[in-house]
Chain A
């Protein structure tokens, strides 16, 4: 009997330790970032509590039998956490996930910064949705995109985010100028500016007039197909085909108009082009 007693005590202690170890720590099923919660414990005596998170490490003494208070600042980062309680050589642990809080900011990428008007799908907007602790919000959210130039009709579209990202392609507007490209979600607004510039010239028209020095050719105000004045510096090419053969002059547009003086003594046909756009032809007679 005297021999059996220590063995029985040992077995009892071993079973008790196993039973203690088997008691899992209980944490809430869902923890939102920055939310306080408690972890109940049983037993007595002091223990060391560890909380290992993506951006934090906590180590402090706790009393077994009392609830462990987890502070909001200890669970600000979304991700997997490990809660460990070490008491009398026994470690108990539980892992849990902290989920992102409500959306608080948008990371908005807009591309390009400068684009010709009326480009189909030329503007790209990408937003990543974050909470106030810079965690990616994976829960689907509606992000509104709006593109507008002062005085022009705005274009807007709503995109539902998936895994924290919402993106779209938009056509550039028909009016040149600085376009405000705005992404909005639940009152959070991010704005980027995209410079919409005139597209290629449309309906190039020239007139030609002989004077004492040669032939003065001049375009009508050069505009794109949406009616926007084509940017100064855009090159217009005048080509004269006369008795002396072909001669070509490249001229930049200045204040909406391109003009050149061609030294052609005889009759000629003059044409105009800019990029891939051709204009009209005019015929001029020879010098009197």
Chain B
């Protein structure tokens, strides 16, 4: 699922100020986009979900927020920016990623995730709708950098178990744990 900025359409030719604002917004969006990796594609399968059936809007929001979480995690680990994790990670997931970034900062390391997409499946959706457990097959290119030296590079498909809980207007990753298999 690609994140996209909305079109900025100005009808008529009289409102110059609006055009300037749109132009500035477009420049800002472009510069932010060039810093942050785009959200990865996420295919979402709800055919084996239980015990609660997934609402249509939740079925759209879960893959959207899962993709955005991975996007922010990739930027945070690449640039050692723990402050980026606050929106899409919470609880132990956030604590662990912050610990990883703190360790990277101490040792001069960085980890770069080049995300080639996710096959996400809903596994358990709690009857009261307060938690969802997910199984993700993530196609990733992982690079480990010591300073600017590439220490390791690999392309792998990894299996992740995720636990998401709802926040005010989006879903947050509460647990992200890679596993050998499902």
Contact = CB atoms under 8 A, between A and B. Distances in A.
B72 interface: no
A94 B62 CA distance: 33
A269 to B, nearest CB: 46
Contacts of B176: 54
Q: Is the interface of A mostly helix, strand, loop or mixed?
A: strand
Contacts of A134: 92, 95-96
B22 interface: no
Interface in B43-64: 51
A109 B131 contact: yes
B180 A97 contact: yes
Interface string A68-98: 0000000001111010101000010101010
Contacts of B127: 111, 124, 126, 167, 169
A82 B152 contact: yes
A136 interface: yes
Contacts of A109: 126, 128, 130-131
A50 B146 contact: yes
Interface size of A as a range: 35 or more
B111 interface: yes
Interface string B113-152: 0000000000110111011010000000010101000011
B170 to A, nearest CB: 20
B33 interface: no
A57 to B, nearest CB: 4
B151 A91 contact: yes
Contacts of B96: 54-55, 77, 134
B126 A126 contact: yes
A163 interface: yes
Contact of A79 (B111, B131, B133, B178): B178
A165 interface: yes
B99 A55 contact: yes
A75 B48 CA distance: 33
Interface in B65-106: 92, 95-97, 99-100, 103-104, 106
Contacts of B111: 52, 57
Contacts of A164: 133, 161
Contacts of B175: 128, 136
Interface string A35-56: 0000000000000101011111
A124 B142 CA distance: 41
12 contacts: A52-B111, A54-B177, A55-B97, A55-B103, A59-B107, A59-B109, A78-B179, A124-B128, A126-B126, A126-B128, A163-B161, A163-B182
8 nearest interchain CB pairs? A55-B96, A57-B103, A59-B107, A111-B128, A79-B178, A134-B92, A80-B178, A55-B99
Interface of B: 51, 92, 95-97, 99-100, 103-104, 106-109, 111, 123-124, 126-128, 130-131, 133, 142, 144, 146, 151-152, 154, 156, 158, 161, 163, 175-180, 182
Given A97-B180, A136-B175, 16 more contacts: A50-B151, A52-B111, A54-B96, A56-B100, A57-B100, A57-B106, A77-B96, A84-B151, A93-B154, A109-B128, A124-B127, A126-B127, A126-B130, A163-B182, A165-B124, A167-B51
